[in-house]
Structure 1
Amino acid sequence: MIIVLIGGLLSHIFFVTIQLIAPTPLPSSFPLTWSNDYKISGQKLRGFATTTNGQKLYVVYTFSSEQEKVNYEHTSIAGMTYLAKGEFVTPSPSAHDYAFSMSTYLTSKGATGIVEITSWTFMEKRSSPTIFLAKLRQQMKRHIEMTFPQTLVAEAQALLIGEQDQMDDELQRAYQKLGITHLFAISGLHVALMSWLFFEGLLRIRIRKEMATVALLILLPIYGVIAGGAPSVWRAVSVVELMMLLRYLKWALSIDDALAISFTGFVLLEPGVIFQIGFQLSYLAAASLVYSSFIFTQTSNWISRSFFVTFVCQLLVYPLLLHHFYELSISSFFVNIIFVPLFSFVILPFNMVALVLTYISLPLANLLFACYEPLRNGLTNVIFSIQALPFQLWSPGKPSIWLCCLAMLSVLACFYFLETKRFGHAIVVLVIPAIWIHVYPMLIVTQR
């Protein structure tokens, strides 16, 4: 905990003294090198690029034709340098207090401003391992689109390479109502499964344990880049890497210390990441599991253990979820008992196997799809039916900061009472702040 506090302080000092500076004025023409963090939406290309002096910018380019858009869709531009002409534009203000804030988004990514490109010409293509992996990720995305059935493309891209652009809006909203969107974000679950499959596979073909460990240490960062490099991915990868490396060197390190070191390194390397919702939720959920292990040991079967894992994670992050999204899925406490094992042991492994088969034997993969697709579509219909049930969302609005802090303290107190088996105290200390959050907006309106 001390390491986390010191790291947070150092990152804050670095953040306010170095990162938050006014953008350097741009010359009439300037080189821009693209990162692998970009998206194509409509007729625009949006994403992050750096100038020659290391300034990170959010770049917006409008395609001149449909053919130009198609060319960019089929090519990875990560590492490409363009001689550009453009100008800074002011981030659009939020439509209201609860709307998306472009300024906060730029800060979270470490970018100093938005540049709209008027014209550019290609200069060169840089080479590096990261750029190569970004190109490989783009090729995998196209490969999935070409070989998977249309109804399975979005799911496969989300689960395998962390690409959620093609997720259907209506289906995504159903996932949100049920509180299972986290299953489509590559995180510790995916990294653990990939690590286990790869490690066990090497052992089965008689690779020595030490060599398998070294191979996994090399593979995990590669997988982190291919999987999209989200905070949840790098959190899981960095913790596993650190634990395996120190174990390989015969050094002891507890999982909570590894999590703290990962957190500290993350915020020191990229201070703005503390503003990213995925980063906040990922580390908070991981900490809830690490420090609630005693609660899990009190369970007698996998059903109760699954419930308490979901309960603990959802409970600890609920103040943060209300702060960012103003609603909470009540049904998530129950549906995750079914959907977490289903995705862990059926849907995710199927997509991994199917991807490998599409490279080895497309006819065999198509046979597998023919059996799986109707079942998966049936599951989608079940999801729509469940989410249509009433009273699944608690929507109290956005609580004030002090109410969120009170709710977080009540959750910590609840965990303490659960560990000491004082269940009545746990319920009372949890429910009272929740009721206050619910009725507080009504009291404010009444006073007005």
Structure 2
Amino acid sequence: MDRPFVFITIPLAIGIILSYYFSFNIFIIFMLIILGVGTYLLNLIRNSSNAIILFFIMVVLGVSLGTYNLNSSILASRVDANIILSGTVDDILWKEDGQGKYIIHINGIEDKLIHSKVDEKIVLKIIGEKNIELGDEISFTGKLKKPLENTNPMLFNYRLNLLSNKIHTTMTIKDYSIIEINNMNKSFMYRAKANFRKTIGTIFDNNLNTENSSLMKSIVLGEYSYLEEENIEKYRNLGLAHILAVSGLHIGIIAGALIYVLSYLGVNRKLNIIVTLSIIWFYGYLIGFPPSLLRANIMFSIFFYAQTLAEPYDSINALFFAMFILLIINPMWIFNLGFQLSFIATFSIIYFTPKIQKIFYPYNNKITYTLCGLLGVQIGLLPIQAYYFNRLSILSIFSNLVIAPILSLPLIIGAIMIGFYYSVPILIPLIGNLLNLILSIQFKLVNILYKFPFGIIKFYSPRIADIILYYILMLAIFGVIKIDKVGLSIKKVIIYYLSILLLFNSIMLLIDKSIEIQFIDVGQGDSILISTKNGSYLIDTGGNIMDSFDVGKNITLPYLEKMGINKLKGVFITHFDDDHCKSLPLLIENIKINNILISYEDNTSKIYNEIKNKTIPLTILKENDLMWLDNDTSIKVLSPNEELIKRGFEGNNLSLVFLLSYYDKKILFTGDMEKEVEWRLIDKFERPIDIIKVPHHGSNTSSTEELLSKIKPATGIISVGRNNFYGHPRKEIIDRYEELGTKLYRTDTMGMIKVKLDKEDIDIIPFIQDDLNVIDILNENLLILSFYAIYYLLSYILIKNYLYFETELTINELQ
């Protein structure tokens, strides 16, 4: 086996991914391992091939490692209980405005006077003024919480992000909950970390302007938190985010500079390598060993080791060896964005770049080599960048060609400044002036490129199947998958097969008249996306009322972008409370909106006054207005009317209320209407409805018995925030619906609720469901799996028969 670590690492990663998305029984895992090992030994005795069995064993090993890490937390079993914890401040995430967030390495827990030793980390947020530094020993009391997962598809998953750093729990406390802080017994390593960060801050803050200092601290320490969010977005959109993370580029520059300097000083080769490796590994420790740096250090160590022993060095095998080691250390790193970008970018450089260089063979030079490397990285990272960032930069290659070399020089100059700080500090201001100039030029270039028209393309988040298909296509284009070795007959079969499949899918798309309604989880508020064949519509935009969390920036806009929605045919604003419309200005700035549809004018509303001056048509809908969303989908406005407006009703009772009709399906959208409006709507319903958007988030001022007994909704959907200040939904309202037999879905417990309607059925699919068990999934999807099994079996039989008859015809012709 030429590259053994490629073969064993890929199934290991597959197993880890499976362990996160499906629940596995420990006993079953154990039995599968015994079965795999037994079969492997039996095949050794028989001299049979073990490739498939080894692949299977590594998948099961990945499942077992992932399952263990997901269930290994002692603190997770103490969630919501008052406990006393003690530990060491392992990292400071941020400190500002009388509060801070820290990673605490917990070593002790006191629960009901029982003291236990533990060894895991938590994220601790402290509200109040406390001087807490790296390496301080701290004890405190509070309630542990499990971090929230994403409650809308494809959005940021905070829990998974923390799990990728082996953190299972969080805690938020006031400063008076801290029992003791001890800063007298810090270990050497914590003191070294703290001094290094302090030194970096002192050097750059004292000798560079604020913007340049923030950039250098971000580059050297590998932390985005030093940079303004606007600058992070610029680098990310220009494809330069890798510059801000400590990666192989940084380690290569540092290691290369060290090797050169030590060689110049006459240090022998072996000692030179030992010193260089020692420095880059110690540097890794000082900044917390991010996976990208750990990957680079492992590969450099193998490279230098191979050079020292004059052994061959296989960079791809070394890359997968590094991945194997990292996944053994922390299996959840597979979900870390830095891990994914680092390994995919490195593989792309190693594998795709030489093949691209062959295309430009007659024009080989340093610029061409650089361009080929950048192109290789872009090819490798394209779907990953699209999935996470939804933006692809046309200027990415050019910006990397211009900006990356400029920033390589500051990294070397910064390292020199750090060295001179301990040896010749008098020269630091002079070097700082030079560094300031280079970084300022760099920022000017970034700003110019960022403002370049049509420089950035917005892109939807591709599905996993799309990403896999993309990489298969790239591997085929670059010759990893040898298409030329496939016989002409099989190529014909593949083309016929794909043509039929394409035709079948096209027909299905043409005859599919279904629509989707997605109740996006925006916390305490409403935002509902309606997708029809003619376009997409949004009912309300969500928006925070009191919390500093920006719903539009973090949920509504990112979700629409990930769905590939850059245009809305209409945005309905039911009323002008912040939790229904505050995110509208942000959407107007980033998405093309054809129409804004409201039910009344509100000159006291900041949002209304802002949108009425826009160029987007503003339409006021009135009672009995009828609007067609597509050929089969219409809405009829039920409220408000002129009488309600003249009587001085405002806010909730002027909510836009309408009935959506799709064939014989009826869905009632209610905004925040209250009982005064509900009573006057009762006579407008001729028959029961299928779904009601429960009015006013389940408040007891709405959902009257009179209305519900008339419309008898089969399903109710409540858009409501977790643990909200208002106590929504009220228990008596939930009981009222359940007494009628209405099945309730809630965004606070189920996340986004997707409603799919076709002519015959209504499917309601909550995003958050119970833990998926493999056996249960097989049972629930037995019919679908059977269909695909028969489908592919028939395909195989048809292909075999085609090849057989073609061979027979050829033989007969020859005879």
CA contact (8 A) 1:294 1:419 kept: no
CA contact (8 A) 1:91 1:102 kept: yes
1:290 deviates by 1.6
1:61 partner SS: strand
**Higher strand proportion (structure 1 or 2):** 2
1:350 aligns to what?
Answer: 413
For residues 361-395 of structure 1, the C-alpha deviation after alignment (integer angstroms, 9 at most, x for no partner) is: 45533233334434532332232122111212221
Structure 1 pair 17–62 and aligned structure 2 pair: CA distance change class (3 A): closer
CA contact (8 A) 1:32 1:84 kept: no
CA contact (8 A) 2:403 2:446 kept: no
Q: Is residue 240 of structure 1 aligned with residue 306 of structure 2? A: no
Question: In structure 2, what is the Cα distance between the partners aligned to 1:264 and 1:417?
Answer: 22
1:234 deviates by 0.9
1:184 aligns to what?
Answer: 244
2:101 aligns to what?
Answer: 46
Q: Is residue 35 of structure 1 aligned with residue 90 of structure 2? A: yes
1:211 deviates by 1.5
For residues 126-158 of structure 1, the C-alpha deviation after alignment (integer angstroms, 9 at most, x for no partner) is: 655642432233222332354222232112212
* Alignment match of 1:15 (pick from 35, 60, 66): 66
Using the TM superposition, name which of 30-39 and 82-91 deviates more.
30-39
Question: In structure 1, what is the Cα distance between the partners aligned to 2:305 and 2:437?
Answer: 43
Q: Is residue 367 of structure 1 aligned with residue 372 of structure 2? A: no
2:226 partner SS: coil
1:241 partner SS: helix
* Alignment match of 1:381 (pick from 441, 444, 450): 444
Q: Given residue 136 of structure 1, which amino acid in structure 2 is its aligned partner?
A: N
Question: In structure 2, what is the Cα distance between the partners aligned to 1:88 and 1:132?
Answer: 28
Using the TM superposition, name which of 85-94 and 21-30 deviates more.
21-30
2:703 aligns to what?
Answer: none
1:191 deviates by 0.7
Question: In structure 2, what is the Cα distance between the partners aligned to 1:125 and 1:288?
Answer: 48
1:310 deviates by 0.9
Question: In structure 2, what is the Cα distance between the partners aligned to 1:34 and 1:105?
Answer: 20
* Alignment match of 2:405 (pick from 322, 336, 341): 341
For residues 319-355 of structure 1, the C-alpha deviation after alignment (integer angstroms, 9 at most, x for no partner) is: 11112222222210222122222223x2322222333
Structure 1 pair 55–227 and aligned structure 2 pair: CA distance change class (3 A): closer
Q: Which entry has the higher C-alpha Rg, 1 or 2?
A: 2
2:165 aligns to what?
Answer: 109
Q: Is residue 4 of structure 1 aligned with residue 9 of structure 2? A: yes
Question: In structure 1, what is the Cα distance between the partners aligned to 2:248 and 2:430?
Answer: 31
2:594 aligns to what?
Answer: none
1:231 deviates by 1.2
Question: In structure 1, what is the Cα distance between the partners aligned to 2:185 and 2:350?
Answer: 41
1:48 partner SS: strand
1:91 partner SS: coil
2:372 aligns to what?
Answer: 308
1:37 deviates by 6.0
* Alignment match of 1:199 (pick from 239, 256, 259): 259
Question: In structure 1, what is the Cα distance between the partners aligned to 2:162 and 2:239?
Answer: 27
Matching of residues 134-213 of structure 1 within 5 Å: 134-150=193-209, 151-213=211-273
Question: In structure 1, what is the Cα distance between the partners aligned to 2:278 and 2:441?
Answer: 39
1:231 aligns to what?
Answer: 291
Q: Given residue 65 of structure 2, which amino acid in structure 1 is its aligned partner?
A: F
1:428 aligns to what?
Answer: none
1:250 deviates by 5.1
Question: In structure 2, what is the Cα distance between the partners aligned to 1:286 and 1:126?
Answer: 41
Relative CO higher for 1 or 2, CA cutoff 8 Å, sep ≥ 6?
Answer: 1
For residues 273-312 of structure 1, the C-alpha deviation after alignment (integer angstroms, 9 at most, x for no partner) is: 1111000010111111122253254341122222211111
* Alignment match of 2:457 (pick from 370, 382, 394): 394
Question: In structure 1, what is the Cα distance between the partners aligned to 2:161 and 2:419?
Answer: 36
Q: Given residue 369 of structure 1, which amino acid in structure 2 is its aligned partner?
A: G
Q: Is residue 410 of structure 1 aligned with residue 484 of structure 2? A: no
Matching of residues 84-123 of structure 1 within 5 Å: 84-92=140-148, 94=150, 96-117=152-173, 118-123=177-182
1:270 aligns to what?
Answer: 330
Question: In structure 1, what is the Cα distance between the partners aligned to 2:182 and 2:310?
Answer: 49
* Alignment match of 1:447 (pick from 526, 529, 533): 533
Q: Is residue 58 of structure 1 aligned with residue 125 of structure 2? A: no
1:408 partner SS: helix
Question: In structure 2, what is the Cα distance between the partners aligned to 1:355 and 1:323?
Answer: 38
Question: In structure 1, what is the Cα distance between the partners aligned to 2:122 and 2:269?
Answer: 45
1:197 deviates by 1.5
Structure 1 pair 406–372 and aligned structure 2 pair: CA distance change class (3 A): same
Q: Given residue 354 of structure 1, which amino acid in structure 2 is its aligned partner?
A: M
* Alignment match of 1:81 (pick from 137, 150, 153): 137
CA contact (8 A) 1:358 1:365 kept: yes
Structure 1 pair 378–209 and aligned structure 2 pair: CA distance change class (3 A): closer
Q: TM-score, normalised by structure 2?
A: 0.48
Q: Given residue 416 of structure 2, which amino acid in structure 1 is its aligned partner?
A: V
Question: In structure 2, what is the Cα distance between the partners aligned to 1:364 and 1:219?
Answer: 23
2:263 partner SS: helix
1:239 deviates by 1.0
1:235 deviates by 0.7
1:86 deviates by 1.2
2:620 aligns to what?
Answer: none
2:77 aligns to what?
Answer: 24
**Higher helix proportion (structure 1 or 2):** 1
Structure 1 pair 373–145 and aligned structure 2 pair: CA distance change class (3 A): closer
CA contact (8 A) 2:277 2:301 kept: yes
Question: In structure 2, what is the Cα distance between the partners aligned to 1:355 and 1:418?
Answer: 48
Q: Given residue 389 of structure 2, which amino acid in structure 1 is its aligned partner?
A: F
Structure 1 pair 83–379 and aligned structure 2 pair: CA distance change class (3 A): closer
Question: In structure 2, what is the Cα distance between the partners aligned to 1:242 and 1:40?
Answer: 39
CA contact (8 A) 1:133 1:225 kept: no
Q: Is residue 320 of structure 1 aligned with residue 373 of structure 2? A: no
For residues 12-53 of structure 1, the C-alpha deviation after alignment (integer angstroms, 9 at most, x for no partner) is: 321113433461326632222232363334433323223334
Structure 1 pair 284–307 and aligned structure 2 pair: CA distance change class (3 A): same
Structure 1 pair 165–38 and aligned structure 2 pair: CA distance change class (3 A): closer
Structure 1 pair 247–379 and aligned structure 2 pair: CA distance change class (3 A): closer
1:359 deviates by 4.3
CA contact (8 A) 2:102 2:124 kept: yes
2:167 partner SS: coil
Question: In structure 2, what is the Cα distance between the partners aligned to 1:366 and 1:294?
Answer: 43
Structure 1 pair 198–360 and aligned structure 2 pair: CA distance change class (3 A): same
1:255 deviates by 1.6
1:189 deviates by 1.2
Q: Is residue 131 of structure 1 aligned with residue 186 of structure 2? A: no
1:4 deviates by 1.3
Number of residue pairs aligned between Structure 1 and Structure 2: 420
Q: Given residue 107 of structure 1, which amino acid in structure 2 is its aligned partner?
A: L
Q: Given residue 180 of structure 2, which amino acid in structure 1 is its aligned partner?
A: T
CA contact (8 A) 2:89 2:103 kept: yes
1:380 partner SS: helix
For residues 174-208 of structure 1, the C-alpha deviation after alignment (integer angstroms, 9 at most, x for no partner) is: 22221112122211111111112212222222222
Question: In structure 2, what is the Cα distance between the partners aligned to 1:229 and 1:134?
Answer: 12
1:264 deviates by 0.5
Structure 1 pair 107–83 and aligned structure 2 pair: CA distance change class (3 A): same
Question: In structure 2, what is the Cα distance between the partners aligned to 1:347 and 1:240?
Answer: 22
